[in-house]
Amino acid sequence: MRGGPGGNVTIQFSTIVGNLDFGDGEKPGGVRVAYGNLIVENSIVAHNSGGDLENYPYDPRTDAWRQICLAENGPDLCGPEPSSEPTWTVRHSLIGHNRGTPLAEAPLGHPDSDGNLVGGPVGGAIDPRLGPLTDNGGPTLTHALLPDSPAINMGDPSGVIGGADLPRFDQRGEPYSRVVDGRIDIGAFERGVPGDANGDGKVNFVDFLILANHFGTGQGWAEGNFDGSEDGTQFLDFVLLANNFGYEQPAPGGVAAAAHASVATLAVAHGNHGIGRSRPELIGDLLAGHFGEWTL
């Protein structure tokens, strides 16, 4: 992307990771902004090489700042080139490394005044803790936030879902809500409640069937791999589902159904017999290897 003189390039609710600048001035690691002003909001920019968001008004191969941008394992946000006089606006974002930017380091647990987490030479680069690019639901592949991701619940706290501030859904589209647990996550992906495989805002027997059908093979959230394990959907994912069974995402301003009730009941059919299964009974079934027998 290139912004002309006086123009703006705005990046919102995005994840820009794992990109490489080939060093020929035509294939940037991520996004190149020529001349214009840069606005980054609620986005992750990390794990890129050669500079991802650059301003270069002329001779990209001789300017000293450009050489920083092109260095292997270079910064995530690079620039600005002084003569272009661009402005930087970065809010509620996670920037892996601040080299080549006017941004001060803001380590984990200590966001800056604009809500950013920014890595740098003193504290080191910040790892956004993302899963692999895979099918987490929706029409495109995405990077899921792992359970320990610092991007969880660190987006703009004043945003209102469905309004001018926030979209209703994350990159995956409907039904994957843009806000779960009261506050938006940074980046393109909103981490849901573990157990809600289909993203409908509920943890119920439909999700249980998704896990059972992908046991040992599921690689993404939509296949029940909630912890991002490289081993695929495993027993721990069933335990996560069982712990949250009965959860229901509240409407904006509403109150969530209890996600950790003492006993939750599954209304299921086992063979030709309709029965109810409590959470302890469900876990017992899983331990006994009976999960493959359950059907709607």
Residue with the two structure tokens 């604009």: 114
Helix axes 235-244, 205-213, angle to 10 degrees: 180
- The pLDDT value recorded for residue 173 is 95
Report residue 97's pLDDT band, with 50, 70 and 90 as the boundaries: confident
Q: Closest Cα partner for 146 from 170, 128, 130?
A: 130
Contact 68, 42 (CB under 8 A): no
Residue 41 CA: distances (Å) to CA of 2, 117, 136: 18, 12, 23
The stretch 11-17 carries a mean pLDDT of 93
The stretch 86-96 carries a mean pLDDT of 88
Which carries the bigger pLDDT value, residue 244 or residue 163?
244
- The pLDDT value recorded for residue 294 is 43
Q: Closest Cα partner for 150 from 173, 175, 119, 176?
A: 119
The stretch 12-20 carries a mean pLDDT of 89
Condensed to tens digits (0 to 9), the pLDDT of residues 198-241 reads 999 999 999 999 999 999 898 999 999 999 888 889 999 999 99
Half-sphere exposure (Cβ direction) of 127: Cα atoms closer than 13 Å? 6
- The pLDDT value recorded for residue 61 is 45
Contact 111, 117 (CB under 8 A): yes
Percent of the chain predicted with pLDDT > 70 = 64
- Interatomic CA distance for residues 24 and 264, integer angstroms: 59
- Interatomic CA distance for residues 208 and 78, integer angstroms: 45
- The pLDDT value recorded for residue 249 is 85
Retrieve residue 107's tokens: 């380590």
Please give the mean pLDDT across all residues of the chain. Answer: 76
pTM: 0.78
Q: Is the pLDDT of residue 197 over 50?
A: yes
- The pLDDT value recorded for residue 83 is 56
Report residue 64's pLDDT band, with 50, 70 and 90 as the boundaries: low
- The pLDDT value recorded for residue 136 is 94
- The pLDDT value recorded for residue 261 is 34
Residue 214 CA: distances (Å) to CA of 195, 231, 243: 13, 12, 19
- Sheet harboring 117-118: ordered strands across? 15-17, 44-46, 94-95, 117-118
Which carries the bigger pLDDT value, residue 193 or residue 292?
193
Q: Is the pLDDT of residue 154 over 50?
A: yes
Report angle CA 153, 158, 163 to the nearest 5 degrees. 105
Could you tell me the residue ranges of all domains in the chain?
Answer: 1-192, 195-296
- Interatomic CA distance for residues 116 and 97, integer angstroms: 12
Contact 168, 161 (CB under 8 A): yes
